[in-house]
Structure 1
């Protein structure tokens, strides 16, 4: 389980990105780079990290399912992900 502060930090970055998204787009189109630099650093989409919503893990994140590999495996074995089953050959 990730630290609560890391999860909260990522949530804050997500909110800041949503708040400044339109302003950032407009400033980029107009080429006003000085004003763009004055926006909060965490409002940039590049600073965001994909985190598992269940455990907060950032490594081993599977984008297609939106969870980390460990939570994905547990959910798949429990049958909570439709169309996914354990392979064997």
Structure 2
């Protein structure tokens, strides 16, 4: 489980990226890289990290489901994810 401060920092970055999205696009089209440099660092979408929506874990993230592999395994075992069946042979 990730610390609450890490989760909060990620949410803050997501808001800042959305806020500056149009401005970044416009500056890139105009090739005004000096003005692009003056924007906040967290305005860059590269700084975002995929995190599990339940635990906040960043490693083992499954993009299709938006959760980490550990949480995914638990939810599949309980039958809470439709269309996914636990493999057995």
TM-score when normalising by structure 2: 0.98
Kindly state the Cα deviation for residue 53 of structure 1 after the two structures are TM-superposed. 1.0
Give the equivalent residue in structure 2 for 1:55.
55
Determine if the alignment matches structure 1 residue 72 to structure 2 residue 72: yes
Q: Where in structure 1 are there 5+ consecutive unaligned residues?
A: none
Residue of structure 2 in register with 1:10 after alignment: 10
For structure 2, which runs of at least 5 residues remain unmatched after alignment?
Answer: none
Could you tell me which residue of structure 1 aligns to residue 31 of structure 2?
31
What is the rounded CA distance, in whole Å, between the counterparts of 1:62 and 1:6 in structure 2?
Answer: 19
| Structure 1 match to 2:41 | 41
1:55 Cα deviation after fit: 0.5
Moved >6 Å (runs of 4+) = none
> TM-score, with normalisation over the residues of structure 1?
0.98
